Amino acid sequence: MEEAPDLERLRLLPELIEHQRVRTTPVKASDFAMPPATPQPYRATAQRLTFDDGSHLFAKLAEGTSPGYLAAEANGLRWLREATPAAVPILYADDRLLVEPWIEPAAPTREHAEELGRELAAMHDAGAERFGAPWRGYIGETFMDNDAAGGSWAEWYAAKRIEPYLKPSRDNGALEAADVTAIETLAARLPELAGPPEPPARTHGDLWWGNVHWGAERAWLIDPAAHGGHRETDLANLRLWGGVPMFEAVLAGYTEVHTLEAGWEERTPLHHLFPLLVHTTLFGRAYRDQLMGIVSHFTKLSY
């Protein structure tokens, strides 16, 4: 990771970019990852900023994006960084620009994977005041309700991470009426399925493998949808869409710091309901079968 530029240069960055006084190079899609075969919904472009002295920074530039989208991402990273140095630092942020250090990609190593596991456990143990967050939430540029609801994680998850995405997913044809009813039925059973109650953990909230950036120094956490949630959510999402490299090493590091409750692996699909509903909301029916496969699995378990 390169040294941070001076504060004056950061303060002038929006003007320097606008007047093309800084060279910008688009970051290719493989570096600004999305789930496989997923259309890119963001109206924020990822850029590598290059200065006259040869130094680099990473920036997201918003174009007509939702108000507060980049600010929410910055809020989440700062909050996570209070608990772990694995969260990438923020150098500058406003509603149209987010600037971070440029971190050259590197190959994953077992050492860094185990360290990531330990850092995740420490981050989760830092906790949160409640389920949700005090700022307006986004996952990507999509709405995410961080308000409080219910007294347990299961009640909150059903109200704030499942229910809000059912109507949009039905309206766009991704889900049938019967699908919505089946998901609502499963959501009502979450208190009995979610395992032993736990206090709010400090979670990344969107920790699929594309949001772990492997550098030469360590594995970094990027692009969060941070909130007080369930620690199993982050671990579950690390296994989504093919899974993070060296997941077993991440898990080994994690359990050095904090043990996991019995049955956590069987509960993993419950935590996938939210990202899959986000995708049915954004992209339609392509994610319906994966989503309803989870619903069917837990329905069968109930008999």
Q: State how far the Cα of 217 lies from the Cα of 180, in Å rounded to an integer.
A: 45
| Backbone phi, psi, residue 214, to 5° | -90, 120
Give pLDDT, residue 293: 96
pLDDT digits (tens, 9 = 90+) for 155-181: 999 999 999 999 999 999 999 999 999
The topology (CATH level 3) of 7-101 is Phosphorylase Kinase; domain 1 (3.30.200)
Q: In the structure, what pLDDT confidence band is assigned to residue 33 with cuts at 50, 70 and 90?
A: very low
pLDDT digits (tens, 9 = 90+) for 176-234: 999 999 999 999 999 999 999 999 999 999 999 999 999 999 999 999 999 999 999 99
Q: In the structure, what pLDDT confidence band is assigned to residue 21 with cuts at 50, 70 and 90?
A: low
- What is the domain partition of the chain in residue ranges? 7-101, 110-301
Q: State how far the Cα of 303 lies from the Cα of 299, in Å rounded to an integer.
A: 7
Q: Taking Cα atoms as reference points, which of 255, 213, 214 lies closest to residue 235?
A: 255
The topology (CATH level 3) of 110-301 is Aminoglycoside 3'-phosphotransferase; Chain: A, domain 2 (3.90.1200)
pLDDT at position 69 over 90: no
Put simply, whether the predicted model's pTM sits higher than 0.85 gets the answer yes
Q: State how far the Cα of 86 lies from the Cα of 171, in Å rounded to an integer.
A: 39
CA dist list (Å): 216 to 28, 84, 220, 249: 20, 18, 10, 17
